[in-house]
Amino acid sequence: MSAVLQNPSTISAAHTNVKLLINGKLVESKTQVWKDVVNPATQVVLARVPFATQDEINAAIVSAAEAFKTWKNTPIGARARIMLKLQELIRRDMKKLAACLTAEQGKTLPDAEGDVFRGLEVVEHACSIGTLSLGEFAENVAGGIDTYFLRQPIGVCAGITPFNFPAMIPLWMFPMAIVTGNTFVLKPSEQDPMTTMLLAELAMEAGVPAGVLNVIHGGKEAVDALCTNPAIKAVSFVGSCHVGEHVYKLASTHGKRAQCMMGAKNHAVVMPDASKDQSLNALVGAGFGAAGQRCMATSVVVMVGEASQWIPDIVSKAKALKVNGGTVAGTDVGPVISKQAKTRIEGLIAQGAAEGATLELDGRNPVVPGYEKGNFIAPTIFSGVKPGMKIYDEEIFGPVLIIVNVDTLDDAIALVNANPYGNGTGIFTQSGAVARKFQNEIDVGQVGINVPVPVPVPYFSFTGSRGSKLGDLGPYGKQAIQFYTQVKTVTERWFDDSLTNTGVNTTISLK
């Protein structure tokens, strides 16, 4: 069954209705527009998600604005303890969250647990808010005058998250926003909202007060409402380029802070001196894990010189991966998110072959017993790919790995830097000099050295660049503290009436 908009009357009442979270309560939407939440491995309808009405969206924002009046003054220690409780509850329900995530998104169970765990790391980091939010103080910047700055919350913030990480990316956003004293309105992907709702319920159980976290559902209308409502002060987005560009422009035009992490075409450069088996294992795992539906997936392998002789070995390793439903033990590659995504990816594969690339491994139409209706594409590999081919120029977002051959490291660096995206890149080598040259000259936000998916831990910040990012600051880490707070600088003097009056000073100097 395709995931299309449905009138409520056309869907069985037995299906679960995904709720809204408004002012601390799970609310049944009054909308007339719904969408099926479909298991991508079986096409079974798991639930239906409402496209919230404008009144419901406004109610969530009003709730957040009202809650901010008191939440902003909640002691830092109290906020940190809620985060401590939330991380405890996420650990308690890890298996439940992963099972839900696998059912609605299609990831393997181990990968789903990894999705939850990488978000959990951000919650753990949020527990350090006392240290993270410290200001600065300078005594006697002039005679008897001190200056210091404070970090204060900015107000109601909003987050718009994609389908590929329904646990991790919401956890990148709302914990950092609310632990810094803001309130939050979250709009998860309408394709897999159930895992996010479980996390929202855990936040309530952890002690997040009513109105501090709200969740609404919908499509473009909901996104536009969050970007234009005057009560919202900041918008965080992760997803595709065309939507990200729209969000950034609309939110910025309406006077909001905006951070948009968007598309990618991540290159991994393989030098001839690289550790062969370990490097190829890493590349195959990074290319085909999560069915290639990671913004940090390795989608382009750049073989330098004699490393091109390893192409048959990559193909052999990819052939050995097991394609199956995410709950089946030993599965390496699950389904892609939807029938529409499957059709698009297959179309790009056909076009790549038509444009002259060599189809080393064709993963279209795999046989998956018991999951005949699933959205499966097996690992697919192209060699002989060149810039200008559509499979090189576009983000495929599926289990398709393309291989480009170059002669030298300088050629590889020039190739990567000429690509418009700047999310992540990597190099595989045993030469420290080569690695250092690469990290210095490459114009990409996140670099891995013998690391295929260089997503930083939450003590640092996610730092994509160029066509992969709009906005100065990234999600989580220290940059998130900057994004979700405003700096107030205070210059103070206390008079001692026993001292001599120095008279009127009409200059701008401080003495």
Interior/surface letters 6-43, b for 16+ CB within 10 angstroms, e for the rest: beeeebeeebeebbbbbbeeebebebebbbbbbbbbbb
Active site residue 295: yes
Neighbouring-strand partners of residue 184: 157, 213
How many Å from the N-terminal Cα to the C-terminal Cα in the chain?
76
Q: Amino acid identity, residue 486?
A: Q
Residues 304 and 427: beta-carbon distance below 8 Å: no
Q: Starting from the edge strand earliest in sequence, which strands make up the sheet with 156-160, in order?
A: 25-27, 20-22, 213-215, 183-187, 156-160, 232-238, 257-261, 469-470
User: In 3-state terms, what secondary structure has residue 20?
Assistant: strand
Residue count (the chain): 511
Torsion, CA 167, CA 480, CA 161, CA 418, rounded to 10: -110
Q: For residue 447, what is the enclosing H or E element?
A: strand 447-449
Pairing of strands 257-261, 469-470: antiparallel
State the catalytic residue, choosing from 127, 157, 260, 295.
Answer: 295
Catalytic residues: 295
